[in-house]
Amino acid sequence: MSKRVLDRLNQVFGDAILETHSQHGDDTAVVEASRWREVARFLRDDERCAMNHFIDLTAVDYSDRREPRYEVVLHIRSLEKLHRVRLKARIGEPPSIDSLAEVWAGANWFERECFDMFGVDFVGHPNLRRILLYPEFVGHPLRKDYPAQMTQPLVEYRPEAIGKLPPFSEHEGMPFGRQTHDRAAAHVNALGFTDE
Amino acid sequence: MEPLDIELDEGELELPNDPMQVNMGPAHPAMHGTVRMVVELSGETITKVDVQIGYLHRGFEKMCERGTWTQVFPYVDRLNYASPMLNNVGFALAVEKMLGVTVPERCQHYRVVLGELARICDHLVCSGAMAMELGAFTPFLYFCKARELIWDVFEEETGARVTHSFGRVGGMAKEPTPAFKEMVRNALPAVRALIDDGEKLLLANRIFLDRIENVGVMPKDLAVALGWTGVVLRSTGVPYDVRKVHPYLTYDRYDFDVPVGTRGDNYDRFMCRQEEIRQSTRIIEQALEQMADEGPINIDDPRIVLPPKDEVYSTIEGTIQHFKIVMEGIKVPAGECYSYTEAGNGELGFYMVSDGSGTPYRVRIRPPCFATMQGIEKMIVGGMVPDVVPTFGSVNMIGGECDH
Amino acid sequence: MSQTQRYVFEGSQQGFATTRLEDLLNWAKKYSLFQYPFVTACCAMEFMALASPRFDMARFGAEAPRFSPRQSDLLWVVGTISQRQAPILKTVYDQMADPKYVLAFGTCASCGGFYDNYTTLAGIDKVVPVDVYVPGCPPRPESVIDGLLLLQDKIQRGDRTPGIVKPRTDPHQVAKALAEHSPLVPLRTSKS
Ligand code: SF4
């Protein structure tokens, strides 16, 4: 039903729309990263789109699987017309893209979260700082190369505190047939970066 | 008035008027332990506020990338812990959307009933906690008691009081117990009576009303731009309810209303919640009516649903099937999808990327109260410090969901 | 003369006046625990249930919550403590006046639970000493009440050693610690 939005985008922006698809009924358009804000603003202001309801903004790290590495994903909907669309933009290292905080007020925190978790730099964001983690934290945990186990404590542990002892490891309780997307874990264990 | 006969430097007489900073939380009784607000005051009026969340960030999204799709269920339980069942259902629906399967009708009704019971709990927790923070302890006890009655049903059905982990991809963990319908039907009137009692205590109370009426007002347009959904959005007058607008499960077959507010203040939010509880009981009654007593709960697909236990122990096919699902996980076709349901606080979305293996490549949760919390700043600036408490209470900030 | 008082007098049979006074004080302490609920996460749902009519913690003398750490003797740590929250927990604990007790409510507080990742603290005992661990995710109110009674027994005994039976701990260390601090005296004064 919101196919029409995709058609309209194709019509207006032409080659800035790299790709569109509607897998599982979710209409998706991949936008050239440099025109990110422009497309977003158009979707909000255009009468036939009227996508005024901000839903979600996040990113995915495709790590070594895909080039460019990051994909910023935006979900928006229209309150009156009830259609939804997903916009994506692919960006490489170091990740950086225009901020949408001035288009939808709601993007503000979602972009901060995205910065916190992936280190995506949103150009023009009024207040880009960490939101879920603390300022002392180094690195961006949802990148695939951040080891899930690596903690960065703020207070010193009591000397009596006992950490995990062998044979317990991070694979405890995990089915062996699963895949892990945590590429860094093995690496870090070799470096001796553990809980203790 | 006669002038004083000594020369005074005007400035000395006045109190210092540079803004005062006050820190609230995170270990503050009204902040639910997980939010910190640094407010800047001019006199007693709040001029600026910095809302800091993230004290309960538990790495939900990272944890999802480590196990199988089914192993995510316990984690989603603990997102919005006031209504775990709604999260369970939401996640199950998301994976089912990727797999392209639909659960049998009996299961859909079953999910609706359990989900709506959870929604009642969610709203009770919110209203109760808000009342308690305003000093009304008795209604809180009434609401707790009502919640306890619902938890009895949950316990009977799922075996757990709070964190059920009861949803499964392609169905539910267990069939409804034989006495399920009767149990729910018995519990509902008692719950409703308790809620009415508690509500009467509150709405006849001047202090309570004075503190919530016209406090924490949110304009409609801003609410939409901020990405508000759920009760908080409806209180501003936007009738957006996923259950009505984009019906999922069997919601299009029930007759229920969506309460909306007019001003978007704390009173509207409180009343919308209370009314939604009533509507939920209506839905439950209809769903119980329509739910068949017999029939399958799980879909019939050996690649998705675990075989019955006696087959696992007696046949080789069953054993292998069980082993494959548990050890390798359900193979979800590669791709991406965004699935959304109406949870206690609003639109709970899951954006998922699969690479075709048994482990999610990325699970992103779209937490409704994360978006809501952004608006807090707009709602409390210009008000007084005591207004922070009811305003914060009425948006039902749930740490696990907001900070994921 | 009630059972408990008899217990106090029994202490005097040892013949030390100090013991008797201590026992009396401990007895007074154990039934007037002012609590500081450090409530963060899902366990709060059960904590609310615990305070509400059906389970009613007030029956055990642990009713009055005090939201100032200086006025409380029992710190309930209810829910997951993240690395970001840890310094706050430590500050709250340090601000409490002696005698102070800590009860770890739920698996997360006890050992980090299944949030074994970059952001959570794997058990509050990494930061503050804990007297009683109540496992469960979330623990049922009954088991919390049991934990509370255990704590009361501990207070009665005048035992201030931090809890030692911990999940995933080295059994040798437990054995050693047990040998040092035992015998695990009969816990409750019996009804007979
Ligand atoms: S122990 Fe379980 S219920 Fe309690 S805070 Fe941790 S995850 Fe939540």
Instruction: Give the residue from B269, B271, B364 showing the smallest Cα distance to B64.
Output: B364
Q: Does the distance separating the beta carbons of C39 and B57 come in below 8 Å?
A: no
Determine the residue of C47, C76, C78, C80 to mutate for testing ligand 1's pocket, defined as the one with the most ligand atoms within 8 A of the Cβ atom: C80
Q: What is the span of the domain harbouring residue B99?
A: 57-402
Most confidently predicted of A4-18, B19-33, C75-89: C75-89
Q: Are residues B94 and B13 in the same domain?
A: no
Contact assessment for residue A118 and residue A133, using Cβ atoms and an 8 Å cutoff? no
A1 contact B CB<8A: no
Q: Are residues B209 and B314 in the same domain?
A: yes
pLDDT in tens, B265-279: 888 888 889 999 999
Q: Are residues B378 and B234 in the same domain?
A: yes
Contact assessment for residue B81 and residue B400, using Cβ atoms and an 8 Å cutoff? yes
Task: Give the Cα-Cα-Cα angle C105, C153, C33 (nearest 5 degrees).
Answer: 60
Q: What is the ipTM score, two decimals?
A: 0.86
Q: So where are chain A's domains?
A: 3-123, 147-196
State the pLDDT confidence band at A193, using cuts at 50, 70 and 90. very low
Pairwise CA distance, residues A75 & A28, whole Å:
9
Outline where B254-380 has alpha helix (H). 266-290, 309-314, 316-328, 368-380
Q: Are residues B111 and B36 in the same domain?
A: no
Instruction: Give the residue from B303, B322, B344, B308 showing the smallest Cα distance to B95.
Output: B303
Contact assessment for residue C151 and residue C74, using Cβ atoms and an 8 Å cutoff? yes
pTM to 2 decimal places:
0.85
Residue C50 distance to chain A (closest CA, Å): 29
Q: Are residues B42 and B121 in the same domain?
A: no
For all residues of chain A together, what is the average pLDDT? 78
- Compute chain A's Rg from CA coordinates: 20
Contacts within 8 Å (CB) and 24+ apart, B24-31: B24/B388, B26/B55, B26/C85, B26/C88, B27/C38, B27/C88, B27/C92, B28/C67, B29/B133, B29/C67, B30/B133, B30/B388, B30/B389, B30/B392, B30/B393, B31/B392
- Compute chain C's Rg from CA coordinates: 17
Pairwise CA distance, residues C108 & C115, whole Å:
8
pLDDT in tens, B206-230: 888 888 888 888 888 888 888 888 8
Question: Could you give the C-alpha distances from B217 to A36, A79, B276, B333, in angstroms and in order?
Answer: 33, 21, 20, 45
- In chain C, what are the domains? 7-181 (3.40.50.12280)
Q: Are residues B22 and B96 in the same domain?
A: no
Helix-helix angle B137-158:C43-51, to 10 degrees: 120
Look at chain B and report how many structural domains it folds into. 2
Give the CATH class of A3-123: alpha beta
Place of tokens 């995506």: A120
Q: Mean pLDDT across the stretch B329-349?
A: 87
Residue C95 distance to chain B (closest CA, Å): 13
Point out which residues pair with B171 in neighbouring strands.
Answer: B168
Q: Are residues B358 and B273 in the same domain?
A: yes
Q: Are residues B71 and B171 in the same domain?
A: yes
- CB of residue C121 inside a 6 A radius of ligand 1: no
Restricting to B residues 30-89, those with a Cβ less than 8 Å away from any Cβ of C are 32-34, 54-59, 62-63, 74-75, 77-78, 81-82
Q: Are residues B290 and B195 in the same domain?
A: yes
Residues of C in contact with A146 (CB under 8 A): 118
- CB of residue C139 inside a 6 A radius of ligand 1: no
- Asked whether residue A75 carries a pLDDT value surpassing 80, the answer given is yes
Q: Are residues B23 and B172 in the same domain?
A: no
| Nearest-Cα residue of chain B relative to residue C118 | B59
- Asked whether residue A10 carries a pLDDT value surpassing 60, the answer given is yes
Pairwise CA distance, residues A38 & A46, whole Å:
12
Give SS3 for C142.
helix
From the candidates B238, B354, B374, which should be mutated to test the interface with A, based on the most A CB atoms within 10 A? B374
Q: Are residues B39 and B123 in the same domain?
A: no
Provide the pLDDT for residue B21: 79
Q: Does the distance separating the beta carbons of A151 and C119 come in below 8 Å?
A: yes
- Compute chain B's Rg from CA coordinates: 24
Provide the pLDDT for residue A138: 84
pLDDT in tens, chain C (192 residues): 344 444 444 545 555 445 567 777 777 777 878 888 888 888 888 888 888 888 888 888 777 777 788 888 888 888 888 888 888 888 888 888 878 888 888 888 888 878 878 888 888 888 888 888 888 888 888 888 888 888 888 888 777 777 654 444 455 655 666 566 544 433 333 333
Contact assessment for residue A100 and residue A111, using Cβ atoms and an 8 Å cutoff? yes
Instruction: Give the residue from A96, A70, A4 showing the smallest Cα distance to A43.
Output: A4
Provide the pLDDT for residue B16: 61
- Report the C-alpha dihedral over residues C143, C145, C147, C152, rounded to 10 degrees: -160
Provide the pLDDT for residue C173: 57
